[in-house]
Amino acid sequence: MTTRLIFISLCFAIFLMNCGGKEDKKKEGFSYEKKTATEHTVKTAETVPASKQVALNNKGVGPITSIELDAEINQDLAAKGEDVYKKMCTACHRPDKKFIGPPPTGILERRSPEWIMNMILNPEGMVQKDPLAKALLIEFNGSPMANQNLTQEEARAVLEYFRTLK
Amino acid sequence: MKNIIKLATATLSMLLAFTSCNNSKQSSSGALASNVADKVYVAPGEHDEFYAFISGGFNGQLSVYGLPSGRLFKVIPVFSQDAEKAYGYSEETKPMLNTSFGFVPWDDLHHPDISQTNGKLDGRYVFVNGNNTPRIAKVDLTTFETTEIIEIPNSAGNHSSSYVTDNTEYVVAGTRFAVPIPQKDIPIKEYKGNFKGTLSFIKVNPEDGGMSIKFQLLMPGFDYDKAHPGRGKSHGWFFFTTYNTEEASTLLEVNASQNDKDFIAAVNWKKIEEYVNNGGGKTVPANYAHNVYDEPTQMATSTLKKEVLIVDPAEVPGAVYFLPTPKSPHGCDVDPTGEYIVGSGKLSANVTVHSYTKMIDAIENKKFAGEAYGIPILNFEDVLAGAVEQPGLGPLHTEFDNEGNAYTSFFISSEIVKWKLGTWEVVDRQPCYYSVGHLMIPGGNSQKPFGKYVLAMNKITKDRYLPTGPEVTQSAQLYDISGNKMELLLDFPTVGEPHYAAGCPADIIKPHSKKIFSLEDNKHPFATKSELDTKVIRDGNTVHIYMTTIRSHFSPDNIEGIKVGDKVYFHVTNLEQDYDVPHGVSMIGANTSELLIMPGQTETFLWEPKQVGVWPFYCTDFCSALHQEMQGYVRVSGPQSNTPLKWSLGEDIE
């Protein structure tokens, strides 16, 4: 009987101590909660965030398997792409700064044209099957890339517009 | 020893179990299938074979179920405000519920009917009637939303509707209560001769389904109960049951049951249409609302119409006849060939069946038994095709399969009776639990029924479900009618009172069901198609917020410079273009419902801030992993304050 009582009291004491410890931390303010986004990308060997990785051979998963780009940028097509981009993409992507998602400026130095179009046309499939797309989802706080139901032609125009963003 | 016996018993019973399994497999291919659950089981991820549109009665809504599973998919608000979908609350949809009496946020929704082409279901629209403040609504089956409501003037208790002709030329509305037409201040006892009933023929535009009242037939002051268009050979005619041919205005329970026979009114609408097209009829003053929801602008507008064309049947000889039919007939049903007109005399022992051919013959030979207010009455015997003798008590409504069988519901004896057209012999009966009203066979009131199931809609459930206090659920029951004997498969609860239903093979409707609204085609005057265009505009005390949503933020999400006493309109556009990604929004203290905005759509709610402070709004429909982060603030200052009007997203307001 007595042993049990002692045990319970002990547990209670430990419990109280734990509580006390937390209270101490509170006094320190908010700094302990703050972590950078990169720390979120868990315990992989990579230290380069997904958005900065260069993966020009990765074509991604989706309807686009091969795209040939002309050496010259087609300015008409790019203008069309800019129009589509403004209407469909700017809610989450600003051209040159991180917003909800990453900025498209310089994206062709990091991604293949096929990957870019597949990400636009098949975001659900990409997030499930493409490791890089999955890593990007985590890096960007779990914000899903919305499928804005672009046609292949529209996505191709957006790609051309991206080529002008350097 | 004991164990051995146990083992033997177990082995034996297992063997037995297997044998019986085999048996049941064999019999399930025959008529007497034993595994009822299998017949209504729709595996996870699989789709039902039929849509069932079941009226919600006093909830004013139309429910969409799947058959055979009995699963509920959607409750479409039609005549009642629905806070869930902002129907009748959003600025866009408020005009849908406007009437000549002002805003009427409720009605009693009775009889859905699906549009037809060549006498077959085409799955474009469902028409439904509001009984209390007479209205007909049209639900578009690409969006499953109410897109048009027309009020019926000179009517009261719009019950004998909303049935459509073979090519959806017309949808009809018939008045249940006779009233003075035009309305006037007279003693109630002056009913006889002074009160009239109207049968309204509403033209449906074949292109866009738009409704307009072509003419109203001014009929004697009877109660017009149910209706059915002629089919095939009788196309061009419409049949309406009547009761209270006694023209009683009080204690109808007794006084409207005096006559041995009431009438089915046979209306040759083609003849009247021709008369009207040649300038016939009289345009009289009227006052009724016509409310149309325009999909491109996503706005409803209400127009008050000021006149209507009235036709006196006495002036169109050969257009209207009365067929005597025993004892306050309710159901008025025409078989798929168009030959038989079944009148279910509620208080009659028999189900009466008239013959279209005999009716035409009697008309041609002018064999009349008399007349009522100038309308010829045909001889009962001359038009009678036959009668189903004493099949049950309280016949109400008859549906048809594609093999020459009829199925009549019996309210008092609570059963479905299956009988043969032409021989009038009863071939089967099954009980209903309890007090069945109407029946539904998909396509059962068209030329092409899909006679696999009959759905019974019951008035009373009592002990069939777990009790929920004095008010218990209403219910429907599904019967397999593919064999010789009907078989009860399933009970399922329904929303509101299921008066009537229309069913359709899913394949006719499913391919046309819309997934999103195209943002590009959005012509809403307050649409914001890009975050770059979001803004807040003040116009005196009125503030318009042009806001957008996308997973998972509002733009703008910080707004300052709103004042107590302002009228703040949130015009919210959902920028998503992906299937099944609606966003919701509501503001603390808003005296209205949330908005539920489909991809590509713009909706508006009004908020009138009453208290100074900083007040949040948030997304009310779970949209993504960051749904809980989808929120914003509005700063409300005093009425005389100088806080500048500013808005932002992603940065502090400076």
Q: For chain A, what percentages of helix, strand and coil (3-state, to nearest 5) are there?
A: 55, 0, 45
B408 in the same domain as B314: yes
- Give the pLDDT mean for B338-362: 95
SS3 content of chain B, % helix, strand, coil (to 5): 15, 45, 40
Query: Given an 8 Å threshold on Cβ–Cβ distance, is B577 in contact with A146?
Result: yes
> Would you say residue B39 lies in a domain?
no
The count of structural domains within chain B is 2
CA–CA min distance B515, chain A (Å):
11
Taking residues B592-604, what's their average pLDDT?
A: 98
Do A93 and A25 lie in one domain? The reply is no
Judgement on whether residues A25 and A59 belong to the same structural domain of the protein: no
Longest dimension (CA), chain A: 88
- Report the pLDDT value the prediction gives residue B19, as an integer from 0 to 100: 42
What domain count does chain A have? 2
* Residues whose CB falls within 8 Å of the CB of residue B35, separated by 6 or more in sequence, listed in order: B24, B28
Question: What percentage of chain A exceeds 70 in pLDDT?
Answer: 72
pLDDT of B74 above 60 = yes
Q: What is the pLDDT of residue B347?
A: 87
Asked if A88 and B577 come within 8 Å (Cβ–Cβ), the reply is yes
- Domain membership of residue B135 (yes or no) is yes
Tell me: pLDDT of B22 over 50. Answer: no
Are A57 and A18 found together in one domain? no
Same domain, B442 and B566: no
Q: How far apart are CA A5 and CA A11, in angstroms?
A: 10
Task: Report DSSP letters for A65-83, one per residue.
Answer: ---PPPSS--HHHHHHHHH
Residue range(s) defining the domain that contains residue B539:
531-648
Residue B153: inside a domain:
yes
> Quick one: B102 and B226 in the same domain?
yes
Residues A8 and A51 in one domain: no
Q: With beta carbons less than 8 A apart as the criterion, state whether B560 and B545 touch.
A: no
Smallest Cα distance from B514 to chain A, Å: 14
Q: Mark yes or no for CB contact B576/A148 under 8 Å.
A: yes
- Residue B77: inside a domain, yes or no? yes
What pLDDT, in 10s, does the model give residues A52-103?
999 999 999 999 999 999 999 999 999 999 999 999 999 999 999 999 999 9
* Segment A135-152, tens digit of pLDDT: 999 999 888 899 999 999
pLDDT surpasses 90 at A134: yes
Q: Are residues A117 and A142 in the same domain?
A: yes
- Cβ–Cβ of B530/A91 closer than 8 Å? yes
In whole angstroms, give the CA distance from residue B605 to residue B631: 16
pLDDT the model gives residue A9: 54
Looking up residue A149, the CATH number of its domain turns out to be 1.10.760.10
Chain centroid to CA B637: how far? 47
Our CA-based measurement puts residue B576 at a distance from the nearest CA of chain A, in whole angstroms, of: 6
Report, as an integer, the average pLDDT of B451-479: 95
CATH number for position B636: 2.60.40.420
Same domain? For A122 and A102 the reply is yes
Are A151 and A100 in the same domain?
yes
Instruction: Indicate the pTM of the whole model.
Output: 0.88
Residues of A in contact with B531 (CB under 8 A): 90-91
Asked whether the predicted pLDDT for residue A2 surpasses 80, the reply is: no
Report, as an integer, the average pLDDT of B452-456: 98
Residue B71 pLDDT greater than 90, yes or no? yes
If asked whether residues B501 and B601 sit together in one domain, one would say: no
Average pLDDT, rounded, for chain B? 94
Give me the pLDDT at residue A1, please: 46
For residue B553, the chain A residues in CB contact (below 8 A) are 91, 100
Q: B115: closest CA among B225, B3, B207, B243?
A: B207
The domain boundary residue, chosen from B458, B482, B512: B512
Secondary element (H or E) of residue B544: strand B542-550
Evaluate if residue B640 carries a pLDDT over 90: yes
Residues 6+ apart with CB under 8 A from B488: B36, B430, B477, B478, B479
Which pLDDT tens digit goes with each residue over B131-159? 999 999 999 999 999 999 999 999 999 99
Predicted pLDDT at A32: 63
Q: For position A89, what pLDDT does the model report?
A: 94
CATH number at residue B258: 2.130.10.10
In this structure, what are the phi and psi dihedrals at residue B646, rounded to the nearest 5 degrees?
-145, 155
Across the beta sheet with B340-345, what order do the strands follow? Answer: B329-334, B340-345, B351-355, B384-388
Tell me if A39 is assigned to some domain: no
Looking at the complex, does the CB of residue B528 fall below 8 Å from at least one CB of chain A? no
Q: What is the 3-state secondary structure (H, E, C) of B447-489?
A: CCCCCCEEEEEECCCCCCCCCCCCCCCEEEEEEECCCCCCEEE
Confidence of residue B348 (pLDDT cuts 50, 70, 90): confident
Query: What does the pLDDT look like over B550-576, one tens digit per residue?
Result: 999 999 999 999 999 999 999 999 999
**Amino acid residing at A92:** C
Residue A22 lies in a domain: yes
- Count Cβ atoms within 10 A of the Cβ of residue B612 and give its class: 0-12 exposed, 13-18 middle, 19 or more buried: middle
Do B304 and B173 sit in the same domain of this protein?
yes
Residue B106 and residue B72 share a domain: yes
Place of tokens 């085999």: B22
Q: Are residues B248 and B219 in the same domain?
A: yes
pLDDT computed for residue B649 by the predictor:
94
Least confident of B228-237, B319-328, B522-531, B622-631: B622-631
Q: Is B176 on the interface with A (CB under 8 A)?
A: no
Going by C-alpha positions, the residue among A32, A21, A100, A87 that lies closest to residue B650 is A100
Given an 8 Å threshold on Cβ–Cβ distance, is B532 in contact with A90?
yes
Please check whether residues B577 and B453 belong to one and the same domain: no
Partner B contacted by A92 (CB < 8 A): yes
Average pLDDT value for residue range B530-539: 96
pLDDT at B395 over 70: yes
Are A50 and A120 part of one and the same domain? yes
Same domain, B449 and B579: no
What percent of chain B stands above pLDDT 70? 95
Q: Are B405 and B420 in contact (CB under 8 A)?
A: yes
Q: What is the DSSP pairing of strand B567-574 with strand B542-550?
A: parallel
Check residue B306 and give its pLDDT.
98
Are residue A131 and residue A60 in the same domain, yes or no? yes
pLDDT at A17: 47
Q: State the pLDDT at residue A10.
A: 52
Looking at B512, B540, B558, which one is the last position of a domain?
Answer: B512
What is the average per-residue pLDDT within B336-341?
A: 98
Query: Are B366 and B239 contained in the same domain?
Result: yes
- Alpha-carbon span A65 to B440, nearest angstrom: 51
Looking at the structure, tell me whether residues B284 and B419 fall in a common domain: yes
Interchain CB contact of A37 with B (< 8 Å): no
User: Of B101, B227, B108, which is closest to residue B163 (Cα–Cα)?
Assistant: B227
In 3D space, the residue among B159, B169, B221, B235 whose CA is nearest the CA of residue B190 turns out to be B221
- Residue B652: predicted pLDDT: 81
Q: How confident is the model at residue B434 (pLDDT cuts 50, 70, 90)?
A: very high
CB atoms within 10 A of CB B36: 13
Of the residues B512, B545, B570, which one is the last residue of a structural domain?
B512
Nearest to B50 by CA among B71, B22, B28: B71
Residue A101 lies in a domain: yes
Residue B654 lies in a domain: no
pLDDT at A35 over 50: yes
Q: What are the angstrom distances between the C-alpha of B140 and each of B165, B213, B603?
A: 18, 19, 19
A111 backbone dihedrals φ, ψ, rounded to 5°: -125, 155
Q: Residue B306, exposed/middle/buried by CB under 10 A (0-12, 13-18, 19+)?
A: exposed
Looking at residue B651, its pLDDT comes to: 83
Residues B189 and B216 in one domain: yes
Q: Do B577 and A99 touch (CB under 8 A)?
A: no
Q: What is the pLDDT of residues B222-250, one digit of tens each?
A: 999 999 999 999 999 999 999 999 999 99
pLDDT for residue A13 is more than 90: no
- pLDDT above 50 for B406: yes
Restricting to B residues 497-526, those with a Cβ less than 8 Å away from any Cβ of A are 516, 519-520
Alpha-carbon gap, residue B76 to A130, rounded angstroms? 40
Reading the block at residue B40, the tokens are 């209504």
Go through B375-404 and write b for each residue having 16 or more CB atoms within 10 A of its CB, e for each that does not: bbbbebebbbbbbbeebbebbbbbbbbeee
Shared-domain flag, residues A84 and A15: no
Q: Are residues A24 and A50 in the same domain?
A: no
Same domain, A61 and A26: no
Residue of B nearest to A92 (CA): B550
Average pLDDT over residues B423-449: 97
> For the residues B355-380, what does the mean pLDDT come to?
97
Q: At residue B15, does pLDDT exceed 90? A: no
For the stretch B250-308, pLDDT in tens is 999 888 888 899 999 999 999 999 999 999 999 999 999 999 999 999 999 999 999 99
B363-371 average pLDDT score = 96
B419 versus B32: the higher-pLDDT residue is: B419
Residue B56 DSSP class: -
Cβ of A147 within 8 Å of Cβ of B626? The answer is no
Check residue B17 and give its pLDDT.
44
Looking at residue B625, what is its pLDDT?
Answer: 86
C-alpha to C-alpha distance for B403 and B448, rounded to whole angstroms: 10
In a domain, A113, yes or no: yes
As given in the structure block, the two tokens for residue B214 are 């072509």
Q: Which domain does A56 fall in, by range? A: 44-164
> DSSP for B289-344?
EEEEEETTTTEEEEEEEEEEEEE-GGGSTTSEEEEEEESSEEEEEE-TTS-EEEEE
In a domain, A102, yes or no: yes
Question: Which residues have C-beta within 8 Å of that of residue B329, sequence separation ≥ 6?
Answer: B225, B226, B241, B242, B243, B262, B264, B343, B344, B345, B346, B348, B352
Domain assignment present for B17: no
